[in-house]
Structure 1
Amino acid sequence: MECKPARLLWGRRVAQWAALAAIVIGGATAGWNGYWYTVGRMAVKRDTPVPSPSPTTSFPAERSGQQDAPLGVYLGELAIPKLGVAIPVYEGVREQELRRGVGHYPASDWPGQKGHVVLSGHRDTVFRRFGELEIGDALIIRTDRAAIHYRIVNIRIVDDDDRTVLVEKARPTLTVTTCYPFRLIGRAPKRCIVTARPVRVDALEFSGG
């Protein structure tokens, strides 16, 4: 029969190994999440807008197949003049895209298609100052062919399962979504929805990426 001290010693060793494994796994997880958190924050750069030519009121034609761009491909950037920042936009709203910048919902349109453009980003990285925006503020989507200027017309908070944000619009519209509340630690139960309308389109040659 195994003596009691031996069983106690074995139990302590198992507990020590389990604690060590938990520390290693926790450290690796924290390091991984910390790395992508840093990548997301670094994706936000200071905006240096390109001087634009005379504005137009029509949308220049985008590349054919823009709406069918492969997931993860770079599409342009979202500039927020009030915050003085510009953030890269990628096709798709998977973690692969949202960790690097703003994601474009593939089912939505893209500027130039005269429909509903829907973008999304993380509240604690690329949109960490999103709560500072107000109705009337400007948003700009820049591609290699145009800069589309929008004006915010509505800001609302909805449940995280609200899908009305993805419905089609009768006129060109930009919708930008992020989790809410902005400073909550953990999973956010709400979404902040910013709606904007185009006010000007500048044709230009934009080099970014």
Structure 2
Amino acid sequence: GLDVLKYGPGHMKNTAMPGEIGNVVISGHRITYSRPFYRLNELNYGDPIYLYTKSNMFIYHVVAKKVVAPSDMSVTLPTSDRTLTLTTCNPRFSARTRLIVIAKM
């Protein structure tokens, strides 16, 4: 559930694992619980994202940034390539929409 986000960004269940083909979806808070995605809006096309696991480091590059409704789950759908999708509440201090950053390996 959402309680895991109290401890940092969380990997969405039933999405790909880092480095795998598919869509790795990670959610994080912008304002509370150490604000891991506070500056997510500052990422731009081509920027690298370094994703660390216990045993590996993966580099993805930003290919898109968009805002969607909280009910829009299309951003979590599987992909045919190595995709990383980061999601957080938007704008800051509101949960009205979701900021989505999409990156590819």
The TM-score, its normalising length taken from structure 2, stands at 0.89
Partner residue of 1:188 out of 91, 95, 101: 95
Partner residue of 1:119 out of 26, 31, 48: 26
Q: Structure 1, unaligned stretches of length 5 or more?
A: 1-93, 199-209
Aligned: 1:164 with 2:71: no
- Greater RCO (CA < 8 Å, at least 6 residues apart): 2
Partner residue of 1:143 out of 53, 57, 73: 53
Structure index of larger Rg: 1
Q: Which runs of 4+ in 1 moved over 4 A?
A: none
Give the deviation of 1:189 after TM superposition. 0.9
Aligned counterparts, 1:1-209, within 5 A: 94-124=1-31, 125-182=35-92, 184=93, 187-198=94-105
Q: Structure 2, unaligned stretches of length 5 or more?
A: none
Question: Is the Cα–Cα contact under 8 Å of residues 90 and 96 in structure 2 kept in the other structure?
Answer: yes
Q: Residues of 1 paired with 2:81 and 2:29: CA distance? A: 27
The TM-score, its normalising length taken from structure 1, stands at 0.47
Q: Which residue of 2 aligns with 1:89?
A: none
Structure having the larger proportion of residues in strand: 2
CA RMSD of aligned residues (A): 1.3
Give the deviation of 1:106 after TM superposition. 1.1
Q: Give the percent of matched residue pairs that are identical in Structure 1 and Structure 2.
A: 36
1:112–1:136 Cα change, 3 Å: closer
Structure having the larger proportion of residues in helix: 1
SS at match of 2:3: helix
SS at match of 2:15: coil
Q: Residues of 2 paired with 1:149 and 1:175: CA distance? A: 13
One-letter amino acid of the structure 2 residue matched with residue 102 of structure 1: P
Give the length in aligned residue pairs.
Answer: 102
